[in-house]
Structure 1
């Protein structure tokens, strides 16, 4: 989309809530279009896009990123037309420079989509496989956050991740910079998770 958030008008009653002053001697400014940085802006924009396109089974939406997938080119053209018509009716504008059409393979939200299905982005897989041994609670949380994003691709993920996940749970109240206890169980779990994504087939 072209300047996605800016396409959403702020209701008249809420415009004063966006007021800001850039400094002494400057007037007060207010947003009439939804800016970045408002607490509920992402949720508001996601809901808008879901209201417009969410019922279409061939569309995935994440904020201003729209993925349209089809079994063949003829169907893809029909799908594109329907999406364009809905966006036009909602007065949502696309940015041509941000659009890719008729792609046989595309990276989207850390995944690769193609005719075979969906698989983790190889760059993310490489990042996981080369992840250094965690030293702090924050390191452990970041690793589990990344590898957990791909749990659907890892058979028996819950059992494999249990020792590290239990460590995360035990340290729930600890700040990120606290040194993490790291024993043999955690190391085995960590090594299994690091290598689990390599060579996995795509999910249909």
Structure 2
């Protein structure tokens, strides 16, 4: 986000943009500059998401990290995968169903990658290759 709004004399604090001015005119000028920059960029990366004119989408870097990932070879790698999926869960309808077997493996005493896990991993990767945007389960049946 800092890169998107550089040289605009704005305050950026985690997920907030602070715009201020000595008077109303200076404030309005800075606000207009920030809005114009956002329009120019068409998308602004923000904590693994892209803020776009079409809505919030996952950052392709985050989805690519999963789609190019080999199957996890141990519990630690599986936990990392599940954490990454959890972060992107708002974009994947039915993720809970898709990753059920993986979550079961994460809780198992012994790590053993089976065909069911491979199938789940493959389905999740396919879901991530779809044209993803923010998924609102209330709108699923509309």
Check if 1:124 corresponds to 2:62. yes
Please list the CA deviations of residues 123-152 of structure 1 after superposition, one character each: whole Å capped at 9, or x if unmatched: 111111011111111010011111111111
Distance 1:181 1:133 in 2: 12
Aligned residues: 109
* Corresponding residue to 2:120 among 172, 179, 189: 189
Q: Report what 1:66 is aligned to.
A: 15
Distance 1:190 1:201 in 2: 18
Q: Report what 1:157 is aligned to.
A: 95
Deviation at 1:169, TM superposition (A): 2.0
Structure number with the bigger relative contact order (C-alpha 8 A, sep ≥ 6) is 2
Which structure has more helix as a fraction of its residues? Answer: 2
Check if 1:201 corresponds to 2:132. yes
TM-score by length of 1: 0.48
Deviation at 1:192, TM superposition (A): 1.0
Which runs of no fewer than 5 residues in structure 1 stay unpaired?
Answer: 1-60, 69-79, 86-99, 172-178
Please list the CA deviations of residues 165-198 of structure 1 after superposition, one character each: whole Å capped at 9, or x if unmatched: 1111224xxxxxxx72100111111111122111
Q: Is the 8 A contact 1:128 1:194 kept in 2?
A: yes
TM-score by length of 2: 0.67
Sort the Cα spacing of 1:201 and 1:143 in 2 relative to 1 into closer, same or farther, 3 A.
closer
Q: Is the 8 A contact 1:144 1:165 kept in 2?
A: yes
Distance 1:153 1:126 in 2: 14
Which runs of no fewer than 5 residues in structure 2 stay unpaired?
Answer: 1-11, 22-32, 136-142
